[in-house]
Each structure stands twice: as C-alpha cells, then as structure tokens.
Amino acid sequence: MRNVNQILAGKSGRLVTVPKEAPVLEVIRLMAENHIGSVLVMQGEELVGIATERDYARKVILQGRSSAETPVGQIMSHPVVAVSPVDSAQTCMALMTERRIRHLPVLDEGKVVGMVSIGDLVKAVIEDQQLEIEQLQQYIAS
C-alpha cells in the first residue's frame, strides 16, 4: 500500500493557502476557482487551521454571518488533524473515517508539504488493488 509521500508525488497542482484574516467570500472563491473543497489557513509559515465547504455551510450560512465581512479565522476548523509523509493510505483513511473529515494536511517536521483528500486516497487504493489483481492473474496464468 502506498504512503502519503507517494500519493503526493502523483498529484498535480499547487497547495492553496490563505491568511486567517482573509474574508470567507475570498476563500470560497478560491475553492471554486481551484475546484477544491478546502484551503489551509496559515499565519506566516505556521498552519493554524483548515477551512472547508462544510465550515462555510455550518458556520456562515446557517448562522447568518456575512461572507464578505467574516474572516476565515473565525470559521476555520482547528486544531488541525494532520498526517506525515510516511503514513500509509490506510492510516489516513482510518483517521478520516474516525474524525469524519475529507482532507488531511501533510506536515513534515512541522512544515506543510501537501494535502491529501479522500478522493486521492480512494484513487490510490483502487490503483494498488488493480495492480495486485493483474499480478495475481499473471501468476495464475504462468
């Protein structure tokens, strides 16, 4: 089974981050433009939170807050649940299931090096299973 580092190596795209003072409306625009469901909230180089579409729905829309006036720091999820580059896809999936989350920042010695989503993990597991099936079929055929 693949580890997080191997999954990150197969991903394209950049990491989207915002300062905690950024208005929620700007954050939602960034998510829409980048076709993503979450952004990392940073204070300088330090990860201080994660803002998701779920945070927006529950902490802005349902509470009647203004998207243009509310800073993302007021609605972000924190403390952040994160993984390391050496964690397995299976470990990440178990953590996501247990915590009911869909995105995991990847920290290497406290520094953000990427993010994996449930979609990234499912894709990796399916690819690994397909490879194993092919290898077993070749073994049986020989």
Q: Span 17-39, mean pLDDT?
A: 97
Domain of residue 33 covers: 4-141
CATH number at residue 37: 3.10.580.10
Strands 38-43 and 46-52: antiparallel
Encode pLDDT of 52-65 as tens digits.
999 999 999 999 99
Q: Is the pLDDT of residue 126 over 80?
A: yes
Predicted local confidence at residue 1, as pLDDT = 81
Encode pLDDT of 94-120 as tens digits.
999 999 999 999 999 999 999 999 999
The two tokens of residue 87 are 């964690």
How many domains would you assign to the chain? 1
Predicted local confidence at residue 73, as pLDDT = 97
Predicted local confidence at residue 12, as pLDDT = 77
Written as one letter, the residue type at 13 is: G
CB 41 within 8 A of CB 50: yes
